[in-house]
Amino acid sequence: MSALKENYDVIIVGSGPAGAAAAKTFCHSGLDVVIIEKCPLPRDKMCSGVILPSARKFLEQHYDDLPEHIFTTPRTLKCSRYVRMNDDQSRVMSFPALDLAEDPSDEYGFNVSRSAFDLWLCEASGAALADNCFLIDYKEEPENITVQVKHNGKYMEIKAKYLIGADGTISRVRRTLAPELEQSLNWIALYEEHYECQIDLEPGWMYWILDQHSFGSILHKGKNLHITAATTWGETAKNLLKRYVNFLTAQHGLKIAKTTMTRGIIMNDQPFRGDYLLGKGNILLVGEAAGFVRALDGITSALVTGKATGESVLQSIQSGKTALDYYSQHELVVAEQEICNKSHLKMAELGFPAG
């Protein structure tokens, strides 16, 4: 990974799909661009890692073929089934496509490893990549944005003309830009366990578990089954997952041989409120940091808005206007707000409590 220099044209915070897609637009621009990432790479991210049709389309248009090493098994997933906790017989029902591309084919989703996929995307951008590099804070100065980081344990200041906050749901770039918004956010807990196990649910489908105040997912991934619980009610996500396991044991023959992973995450309700924050001047927010998550399809939102931030910075350099002037009117960004809003309405109609 790269050593850090003192000055860049663009600093991108976060090596997820939003940061990688933003960086890709600078590929042949000759600009000095760095992606900084707080984790060592490749970094894992709590995510089902399903690339849905809209993201697949975007990738086909803008990237080489996906390399084999990013896939896990089963390679493709059908869309989609659910089980209801309060249904006595727990029938397995089919679920309409949530992705607005509405194409419930047998190869609806690609089942990938997020750590391998995200690193591949970043490397395809050609940008310098500095991992173990945590953004602490930044300040705007007349000519530059000065960014304070801790890189490989060492405190440093680096400067850039443009700062792109692609730092996900817990975004420090957003927090500094809009402390009032930050104060108003509500947080949702998610908890996940991976098992070596048997279960009578056919592999190759995306499964959802719906309950009155919660939803979860069940996914075969490699040798493991991943069960994730998201709660919006008073119950802890860990307890909810315990209830899912009891339910699946009683109704779907779940027999756990070994728990191979436990982890949790929090995410905020900015996407569900449609409360998008695009940035200020030459500081832009993108992907989940800006509040863009299509229902269950955050990767598409991240890729699309990432492309839009990059293009807005390029236009700003040519014209002297701010990057936000372009980004806020970019057709992809205007459209993405509408798509995200619609997808959350659809999620609510289908009985997802967080929608």
Ligand X SMILES: Cc1cc2nc3c(=O)[nH]c(=O)nc-3n(C[C@H](O)[C@H](O)[C@H](O)COP(=O)(O)OP(=O)(O)OC[C@H]3O[C@@H](n4cnc5c(N)ncnc54)[C@H](O)[C@@H]3O)c2cc1C
Contact residues for ligand X (CB under 6 A)? 13-19, 36-39, 43, 45-50, 52, 55, 134-135, 166-168, 172, 190, 228, 265, 267, 287-289, 293, 297-299, 302
Task: Report phi then psi at 44, rounded to 5.
Answer: -90, 160
| Contact (Cβ atoms closer than 8 angstroms) between residue 355 and residue 342 | no
Report which of 234, 232, 189, 207 is spatially closest to residue 46, judged by C-alpha positions.
189
In angstroms, rounded to a whole number, what is the distance separating the alpha carbons of residues 96 and 102?
Answer: 8
Name the residue with the smallest CB distance to ligand X. 298
CB of 300 to ligand X, least distance (A): 6
Of 169 and 318, nearer to ligand X (C-beta) is: 169
Of 87 and 123, nearer to ligand X (C-beta) is: 123
CB of 106 to ligand X, least distance (A): 18
CB of 277 to ligand X, least distance (A): 13
Of 87 and 137, nearer to ligand X (C-beta) is: 137
CB of 228 to ligand X, least distance (A): 5
Of 88 and 216, nearer to ligand X (C-beta) is: 216
Of 288 and 336, nearer to ligand X (C-beta) is: 288
Q: Which tokens is 251 given?
A: 């109704």
Residues in the chain: 355
Of 98 and 324, nearer to ligand X (C-beta) is: 98
Question: How many C-beta atoms lie closer than 10 Å to residue 325's C-beta?
Answer: 15
CB of 136 to ligand X, least distance (A): 7
Of 72 and 228, nearer to ligand X (C-beta) is: 228
Task: Report phi then psi at 353, rounded to 5.
Answer: -65, -30
| Contact (Cβ atoms closer than 8 angstroms) between residue 98 and residue 297 | yes
Instruction: 68-72: list long-range contacts, CB under 8 Å, 24+ apart.
Output: 69/116, 70/112, 70/113, 70/116, 70/117, 70/120, 71/110, 71/111, 71/112, 71/113, 72/111, 72/112, 72/113, 72/221, 72/222
CB of 151 to ligand X, least distance (A): 10
CB of 326 to ligand X, least distance (A): 20
In angstroms, rounded to a whole number, what is the distance separating the alpha carbons of residues 265 and 33?
Answer: 29
Query: Coil, helix or strand for 292?
Result: coil
